[in-house]
């Protein structure tokens, strides 16, 4: 299965092409198995903002627009398919897709990763997902972009139910299997939609399939984002349309009181700072304090960025002169807390937040933190 998926992935990951028939020259599109990603003319990711709830109105202004620059449109630009220019608070214009304003992200440095995706549970990469029937959607989990049901629960298929000539094979999951797995049933009046078809079963149940793969739910999953069924019985696979980039070789997953967290090779918890470093310096912890309690993660000369794990210049004042690059997650430097003792320790959680709490602090990176919306 994995080899065949890799072939499909290579086929679908096409170079950016101009959306000439439907979009202005400022927008290109990247085709993937999960859908079409909107990008700017240079191929950089574009984003939607969840707080833009009124069509054609941007709520990201002032400092917000510095971190999330709007995709500028020239004054007098014409409507182009689903794209139209909208007027901003300062009188300038930006492009919107079906009334949703489009933005860039200031921390993005390349075309290979959308570092702004899921930031603050308010920003999402501008993805036009594959067509799905009612009750099925595409969702981001840490494994990648997957198919989910109407309640956000992950969907699965089986290795031993490979499609044949575009048709779904006979169902292998019945009897005792159905005590742990549930068929994703299609309503009585449902019709095929896009690559989704309705397959009959021996018990009379109508089952959804996607590109010839029958779809199921795992009884071990309880919340949106759970993927406990992956690899079960060596045949069950998460319905991944677009896999996440691999973790750096030195990153591990550790259990903690907060759930699974990212850690280094020795199990030490990884943290990011939830506010600009300069604010921390002014309000709660100067450079000497930071150096005493926190350690940046230096990258060696052979280090290679992967997905949301990137390499950046070290923040001035808290790294030695010999440190040329440090590791970052979603564009923010990674830290280790000097008071953590052993794998899973999270003594640095909300460190420097003060009595009032808030975001002026360091936070562990939870593996599923970005998928709880």
Q: Exposed, middle or buried by CB within 10 Å (0-12, 13-18, 19+), for 191? A: exposed
Query: Which two tokens mark 239?
Result: 């319905």
pLDDT at 47: 98
Name the phi and psi angles at 138, rounded to 5: -105, 130
* CA-closest candidate to residue 23, choices 35, 32, 36: 36
What's the pTM? 0.85
Give the count of beta carbons closer than 10 Å to the beta carbon of residue 51.
12
Tokens 């920003």 map to which residue? 123
Show Cβ contacts of residue 125 under 8 Å, excluding neighbours closer than 6 positions: 37, 45, 46, 47, 48, 114, 116, 117
Contact 95, 78 (CB under 8 A): no
Tokens 């150096």 map to which residue? 291
Cα 284 from Cα 95, distance rounded (Å): 40
Q: Exposed, middle or buried by CB within 10 Å (0-12, 13-18, 19+), for 129? A: middle
Query: What is the β-pairing status of strands 127-129 and 35-40?
Result: antiparallel
Query: Which two tokens mark 63?
Result: 């400092």
Split the chain (373 residues) into runs of 10 and give each run's mean pLDDT.
33 37 79 95 96 97 96 93 95 97 94 88 94 95 93 96 84 95 96 95 94 96 91 97 95 94 97 90 90 95 94 90 93 96 94 65 82 48
Q: What is the pLDDT of residues 33-74, one digit of tens each?
A: 999 999 999 999 999 999 999 999 999 999 999 999 999 999
271 forms beta bridges with: 335, 364
Q: What is the pLDDT of residues 269-326, one digit of tens each?
A: 999 998 889 888 888 889 999 999 999 999 999 999 999 999 999 998 898 888 999 9
Query: Which two tokens mark 25?
Result: 């020259």
Contact 276, 315 (CB under 8 A): no
pLDDT at 23: 60
Mean pLDDT of the chain: 89
Query: Which two tokens mark 211?
Result: 């590109």
pLDDT at 359: 61
Give the count of beta carbons closer than 10 Å to the beta carbon of residue 257.
10
- Would you call 148 helix, strand, or coil by DSSP? strand
Contact 73, 95 (CB under 8 A): yes
Tokens 């981001």 map to which residue? 140
pLDDT at 371: 55
pLDDT at 358: 59
SS3 content of the chain, % helix, strand, coil (to 5): 10, 30, 55
Contact 327, 299 (CB under 8 A): yes
Show Cβ contacts of residue 57 under 8 Å, excluding neighbours closer than 6 positions: 86, 101
Name the phi and psi angles at 289, rounded to 5: -65, -45
Concatenating the DSSP letter of every residue in 77-139 gives PPPBTTEEEEE-TTS-EEEEETTEE-B--TT--SSS--TTTTGGGTEEE-EEEPP--TTEEEE
| CA distances, 253 to each of 49, 231, 259, 263 (Å) | 30, 17, 10, 6
Contact 253, 261 (CB under 8 A): yes
Residues recorded for the chain: 373
Tokens 């591990």 map to which residue? 252
pLDDT at 357: 55
pLDDT at 116: 94
């Amino acid at each position: 299965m994995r080899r065949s998926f890799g072939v499909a992935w290579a086929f679908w990951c096409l170079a950016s092409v101009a959306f000439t028939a439907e979009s202005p020259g400022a927008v290109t599109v990247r085709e993937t198995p999960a859908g079409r990603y909107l990008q700017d003319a240079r191929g950089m990711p574009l984003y939607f903002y969840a707080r833009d709830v009124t069509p054609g109105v941007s709520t990201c202004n002032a400092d917000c627009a510095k971190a999330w620059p709007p995709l500028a449109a020239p004054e007098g630009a014409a409507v182009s398919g689903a794209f139209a220019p909208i007027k901003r608070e300062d009188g300038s214009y930006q492009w919107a897709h079906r009334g949703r304003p489009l933005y860039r992200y200031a921390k993005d440095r390349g075309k290979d990763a959308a570092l702004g995706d899921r930031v603050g549970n308010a920003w999402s990469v501008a993805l036009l997902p594959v067509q799905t029937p009612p009750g099925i959607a595409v969702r981001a989990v840490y494994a990648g972009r997957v198919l989910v049901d109407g309640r956000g629960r992950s969907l699965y298929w089986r290795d031993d139910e490979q499609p044949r000539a575009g048709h779904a094979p006979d169902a292998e999951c019945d009897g005792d299997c159905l005590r742990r797995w549930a068929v994703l049933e299609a309503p009585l009046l449902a019709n095929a939609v896009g690559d989704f078809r309705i397959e009959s079963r021996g018990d009379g149940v109508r089952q959804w399939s996607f590109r010839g793969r029958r779809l199921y739910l795992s009884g071990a999953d309880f919340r949106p984002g759970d993927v406990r069924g992956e690899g079960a019985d060596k045949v069950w696979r998460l319905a991944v349309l677009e896999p996440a980039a691999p973790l750096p070789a030195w990153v591990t997953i550790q259990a903690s009181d907060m759930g699974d967290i990212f850690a280094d090779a020795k199990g030490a918890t990884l943290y990011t700072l939830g506010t600009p470093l300069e604010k921390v310096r002014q309000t709660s912890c100067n450079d000497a304090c930071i150096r005493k309690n926190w350690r940046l993660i230096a990258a060696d000369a052979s280090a290679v960025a992967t997905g949301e794990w990137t390499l950046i210049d070290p923040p001035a004042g808290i790294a030695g002169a010999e440190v040329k690059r440090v590791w970052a997650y979603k564009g923010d430097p990674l830290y280790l807390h000097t008071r953590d003792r052993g794998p899973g320790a999270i003594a640095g959680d909300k460190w420097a937040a003060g009595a009032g709490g808030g975001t002026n602090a360091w936070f562990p990176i939870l593996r599923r933190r970005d998928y709880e919306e």
